């Protein structure tokens, strides 16, 4: 890089020196920030002029689309906060249309946008412009490949690791599970690439098979109704109202945990 700043696919990459190392930060490029501001301002004017469901949903779609595309920019929160402040007076003009948040989606908004205030227009909650957190983009492992000896060895090593996990599972659970359940469990290990369905982290030797729809409510012992998850998070799904909300990991996976609690007919956890 000859320059400290490079624009690429709507992002600005800034290269900085930190001690003896070079580090970088990413943000929404200036042109795109201006474009987002103008598009949102025009859409807000349309909502004020005609607060139809179509116009309000279009406003929300613009924000969700922006969040989804730029969530990997490390400075996305700062960028969107600036846009939000620039639109402050324009948004305030919608106050005459202001209604109470839609209680139907209260839990969803509390989980996703809890710290951001919102209000509804025509009984549709407006998604907060700055309601986003930066997501770390994991780099691809470029060594893994079918075309090099090293890459093929890594692929085989991964397969071997899963085989060991499958064998451990079969040995440990053969006394408790039917042959059919054991086959489903082995298949899930490979389908989930040895990862916990809740966290994405590697399955440990004591992982559990969770019934998405409990057997007590008609759930079947079949592949589609099972997921493989680590014991700690399986317990979280089945916790009762006395749930230990102090568990440090709960807040990171609360959305997925609540999804499976809801499917199991268990009350969602609010933290």
Looking at the domain assignment, is residue 206 inside a domain? yes
Please report which confidence band the pLDDT of residue 121 belongs to, taking 50, 70 and 90 as the band edges: confident
Looking at the domain assignment, is residue 137 inside a domain? no
CA–CA separation, 84 and 51 (whole Å): 20
Please report which confidence band the pLDDT of residue 85 belongs to, taking 50, 70 and 90 as the band edges: very high
What is the reported pLDDT for 252?
79
Element (H, E) at 111: helix 106-113
The last residue of a domain, from among 91, 125, 159: 125
Same domain, yes or no, for 17 and 110? yes
Residue 35 has pLDDT above 70, yes or no: yes
Looking at the domain assignment, is residue 224 inside a domain? yes
Block residue for tokens 């916790």: 239
The last residue of a domain, from among 125, 159, 184: 125
Indicate the number of domains in the chain.
Answer: 2
Note the pLDDT tens digit of each residue in 215-247: 888 888 888 999 999 888 898 888 865 555 556
- Output the six-digit token pair for 125: 């909650």
**CB contact set of 229 (below 8 Å; sequence gap of 6+):** 196, 197, 198, 203, 207, 208, 210, 237
CA–CA separation, 169 and 190 (whole Å): 12
Residue 105 has pLDDT above 70, yes or no: no
- Output the six-digit token pair for 69: 């595309």
Average pLDDT over residues 166-170: 85
What is the reported pLDDT for 255?
86
Same domain, yes or no, for 76 and 155? no
The last residue of a domain, from among 125, 140, 171: 125
Under 8 Å between Cβ of 137 and 72: yes
What is the reported pLDDT for 2?
45
**For residue 11, what are the domain limits?**
5-125
Say what percent of the chain tops pLDDT 90: 20
Same domain, yes or no, for 36 and 103? yes
Block residue for tokens 């209680």: 103
Average pLDDT over residues 81-92: 90
Least confident residue range of 113-117, 191-195, 221-225: 113-117
Residue 51 CA to chain centroid, in angstroms?
30
Same domain, yes or no, for 111 and 165? no
Same domain, yes or no, for 74 and 109? yes
Same domain, yes or no, for 33 and 98? yes
Average pLDDT over residues 60-70: 89
Same domain, yes or no, for 103 and 166? no
Say what percent of the chain tops pLDDT 70: 82
Element (H, E) at 226: strand 226-229
Residue 142 has pLDDT above 90, yes or no: no
Residues in the chain: 271
CA–CA separation, 243 and 237 (whole Å): 10
């Amino acid at each position: 890089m000859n320059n400290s700043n490079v624009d690429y696919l709507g992002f600005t990459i800034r290269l900085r020196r930190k001690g003896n190392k070079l580090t970088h930060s990413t943000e929404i490029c200036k042109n795109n920030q201006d474009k987002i501001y103008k598009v949102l301002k025009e859409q807000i004017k349309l909502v004020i002029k005609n607060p139809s469901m179509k116009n309000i949903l279009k406003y929300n779609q613009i924000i969700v689309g922006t969040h989804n595309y730029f969530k990997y920019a490390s400075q996305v929160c700062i960028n969107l906060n600036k846009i939000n402040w620039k639109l402050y007076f324009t948004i305030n003009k919608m106050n005459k249309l202001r209604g109470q948040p839609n209680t139907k989606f209260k839990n969803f908004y509390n989980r996703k946008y809890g710290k951001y205030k919102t209000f509804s227009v025509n009984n549709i909650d407006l998604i907060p412009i700055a309601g986003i957190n930066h997501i770390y983009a994991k780099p691809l492992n470029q060594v893994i490949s079918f075309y090099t000896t090293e890459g093929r060895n890594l692929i085989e090593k991964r397969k071997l690791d899963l085989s060991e996990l499958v064998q451990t599972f079969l040995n440990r659970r053969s006394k408790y599970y039917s042959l059919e359940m054991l086959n489903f469990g082995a298949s899930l290990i490979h389908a989930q690439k040895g990862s916990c369905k809740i966290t994405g982290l590697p399955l440990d030797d004591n992982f559990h098979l969770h019934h998405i729809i409990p057997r007590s409510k008609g759930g079947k012992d079949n592949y589609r109704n099972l997921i493989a998850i680590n014991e700690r998070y399986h317990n979280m799904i089945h916790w009762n109202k006395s749930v230990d909300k102090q568990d440090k990991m709960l807040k990171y996976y609360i959305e997925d945990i609540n999804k499976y609690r809801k499917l199991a007919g268990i009350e969602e956890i609010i933290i």
